[in-house]
Chain A
Amino acid sequence: MNTDKIGKIILSQKQIAEKIKKMAARIEDDYQEKNPIMVSILKSSIYFLSDLTREMSISLNIDFLGIERYAAADNRGQIHLEKNLELSIDGRHVIIVDAIINTGLTHSYLIKNLQPRSPASLKICTLIENTEKRLVNLPISYRGFTFTDPDIFVIGYGLDYEENYRHLPYIAEFNKD
């Protein structure tokens, strides 16, 4: 791991933990007796999901979605679910959990994919939302931190650069140069 690329720490372990406690409390209040399914988007949300759910004492289930992008025969970009849900969400309350939402394109795709499966409700929970990068409207119900710098690129706490730095316990700026 090239540590020179790790820039300024944007969110410390403590800040993240405190925020997650608050988010967990809100979700618990909203989902009492609802037994929600927390759907984690691989791989960026693994730490967030595990820390968030461990702060919650309500009954809940956990499932994972993996997305793959590839070039089709005609060279057009395609996206599909590399890892589908194992649980049925029909009639269930679903919360999509992710570490960061930038353009919102991926999450828009996921909502389109999950909505026809007839969940009782479908909401989004994200640790970070970069409002300056957003292109599409999304039903984000729970957000931890809001970034407003369109040029910022962050790593750590599940977020990677070329699959590195995910395991950093904090979120830092990535030095591309």
Chain B
Amino acid sequence: MFIITVSRQTASGGDEVAELLAEKLGVELISREYVINNWLPEVTNKHQLHMLKESPKFYNKQSQTGETFAEYIENRLKEKTAEDSFIILGLGSQIIFATTPAALHVRIIASEKSRIQKLQKNYGLQKEQAERSLELSDRKHRKYVWRIYEQDWSEPHLYHLCVNMDGFAVEEAVNQIIYLQEQHKNRPGSRPLKQTGTEQETEDEDKNENNRVFAHPSEKEFAQILNMHNIEWEFEPTEFPLEWDAEGNISLGFRPDFYLTQHDTYIELTTLKQEYVTEKNKKVRLLQKLYPEVNIKIVYKKDFQSIIERFGV
């Protein structure tokens, strides 16, 4: 049995490395998302689960089992890894399994420049927005490990291998990690690794890019009105990270419907039910707070009808 723990800086490519590692090695990936969906609901109520998604501090609170939530996760991880091999992404696992002989601890980093570029590309953010998002996310990552284990997650001695992803493909990094794991397969408790193929990823990404369509007829109508006025637009080009989970992963994002390129303005149409409007308003307020330089306008149902009345043909 083996464990590979993967710690990563935001937008360094660490998530992709962990996913591909799990896929190639044919083992399960345990991430924060996995823990939140599969383990924590057993010992939390709705409020506690919400707090655990948001606050690193809350992991030191006592759960129904008498343990703190952090201890509960740690024990579940230990139980699970006693039976089989796993890739563990985050969760302070480099510290939980620091002395486990069969564990290999990997840290994935990348230059700030390339991480900002990645956030810009993935979420369509402006440079200043990406810098801000990175700052907030890194802060959360650091805070989680510090609050629970009182250790600085960036300390090199916590890891066997640190991979700088600058100019390094995900597959190259994964191959290096597998090679290192192979070299140590004779450790007590460890066993040879099996590999499985991976071919689907890039194909799926292209498919998503090409299949972009309007989700609602109002979006199509609005696009036609913009075209009519020769206003250049992009559809949903940017997703703004709005909230991060306790570990620093983006847990809530907001992708406004339109970006008017020449006016540097985002437009969100809220022509649906009132319950969605409240949610959208909340997101817009949060966006304006986190990214004050972003221009965003909401078009409510009534506004939209009036625009259609005036400009629709």
Q: Which residues of A are interface residues toward B (Cβ below 8 A)?
A: 69-71, 75-79, 103, 105-106, 108-109, 112, 133-137, 150-151, 153
The answer to whether B299 touches A135, judged by C-beta atoms less than 8 angstroms apart, is yes
Partner of A136, one of B260, B306, B307, B312: B260
The answer to whether B231 touches A76, judged by C-beta atoms less than 8 angstroms apart, is no
Partner of A77, one of B225, B231, B297, B302: B225
Tell me the count of chain B residues lying within 8 A, CB to CB, of chain A.
24
The answer to whether B224 touches A105, judged by C-beta atoms less than 8 angstroms apart, is no
Q: CA A55 – CA B230 in complex, angstroms?
A: 35
Q: Which residue in chain A gives the minimum CB-CB distance to B300?
A: A150
Return chain A residues, CB-CB under 8 Å to B307. Answer: 103, 105
- Given A69-B311, A77-B311, A136-B263, A105–B229 Cβ distance below 8 Å? yes
The answer to whether B228 touches A69, judged by C-beta atoms less than 8 angstroms apart, is yes
Chain A CB within 8 A of B295 CB? yes
Q: CA A112 – CA B306 in complex, angstroms?
A: 23
Q: CA A137 – CA B294 in complex, angstroms?
A: 13
Known: A69-B228, A105-B226, A109-B229. 15 other contacts (CB 8 A): A69-B313, A71-B313, A76-B228, A108-B231, A108-B263, A112-B230, A135-B260, A135-B267, A135-B297, A136-B263, A136-B265, A137-B263, A137-B295, A150-B302, A151-B302
Chain A CB within 8 A of B83 CB? no
The answer to whether A79 touches B228, judged by C-beta atoms less than 8 angstroms apart, is yes
Q: Which residue in chain A gives the minimum CB-CB distance to B231?
A: A108
Q: Which residue in chain A gives the minimum CB-CB distance to B299?
A: A135
Count chain A CB atoms within 10 A of each CB in B227, B228, B297, B312 and give the residue with the most. B228
The answer to whether B297 touches A70, judged by C-beta atoms less than 8 angstroms apart, is no
- Count of chain A to chain B residue pairs whose CB atoms are closer than 8 Å in the complex: 55
Q: CA A153 – CA B310 in complex, angstroms?
A: 12
The answer to whether A109 touches B230, judged by C-beta atoms less than 8 angstroms apart, is yes
Q: CA A101 – CA B297 in complex, angstroms?
A: 16
Chain A CB within 8 A of B28 CB? no
Q: CA A105 – CA B223 in complex, angstroms?
A: 12
Least CB distance, A67 to chain B, in whole angstroms = 10
Return chain B residues, CB-CB under 8 Å to A105. Answer: 225-226, 229, 231, 307, 311
The answer to whether B311 touches A137, judged by C-beta atoms less than 8 angstroms apart, is no
Return chain A residues, CB-CB under 8 Å to B265. Answer: 135-137
Return chain B residues, CB-CB under 8 Å to A108. Answer: 229, 231, 263
Q: Which residue in chain A gives the minimum CB-CB distance to B307?
A: A103
Q: Which residue in chain A gives the minimum CB-CB distance to B302?
A: A151
Q: CA A71 – CA B313 in complex, angstroms?
A: 6
Q: CA A151 – CA B225 in complex, angstroms?
A: 20
Q: CA A108 – CA B264 in complex, angstroms?
A: 13
Q: CA A151 – CA B295 in complex, angstroms?
A: 21
Q: Mark B252-286, 1 if CB is under 8 A from A, else 0.
A: 00000000100111010000000000000000000
Chain A CB within 8 A of B303 CB? yes
Q: Which residue in chain A gives the minimum CB-CB distance to B228?
A: A77
Within 8 A of A (CB), among B26-70: none
List 18 A–B pairs whose Cβ atoms lie within 8 Å, in order of A's numbering.
A69-B228, A69-B313, A71-B313, A77-B224, A79-B229, A105-B225, A105-B226, A105-B229, A109-B229, A109-B231, A112-B230, A133-B303, A135-B260, A135-B267, A135-B297, A136-B263, A137-B295, A150-B303
Return chain A residues, CB-CB under 8 Å to B311. Answer: 69, 77, 105
Q: Mark B219-253, 1 if CB is under 8 A from A, else 0.
A: 00000111111110000000000000000000000
Q: CA A150 – CA B295 in complex, angstroms?
A: 18
Q: CA A109 – CA B226 in complex, angstroms?
A: 10
Within 8 A of A (CB), among B139-189: none
Q: Which residue in chain B gives the minimum CB-CB distance to A110?
A: B229
Q: Which residue in chain B gives the minimum CB-CB distance to A71?
A: B313
Q: CA A75 – CA B229 in complex, angstroms?
A: 15
- Given A105-B231, A108-B231, A151-B302, A77–B264 Cβ distance below 8 Å? no
Return chain B residues, CB-CB under 8 Å to A76. Answer: 224, 227-228
Least CB distance, A14 to chain B, in whole angstroms = 29
Least CB distance, A95 to chain B, in whole angstroms = 21
Return chain A residues, CB-CB under 8 Å to B267. Answer: 135
Q: CA A150 – CA B303 in complex, angstroms?
A: 8
Partner of B228, one of A78, A134, A137: A78
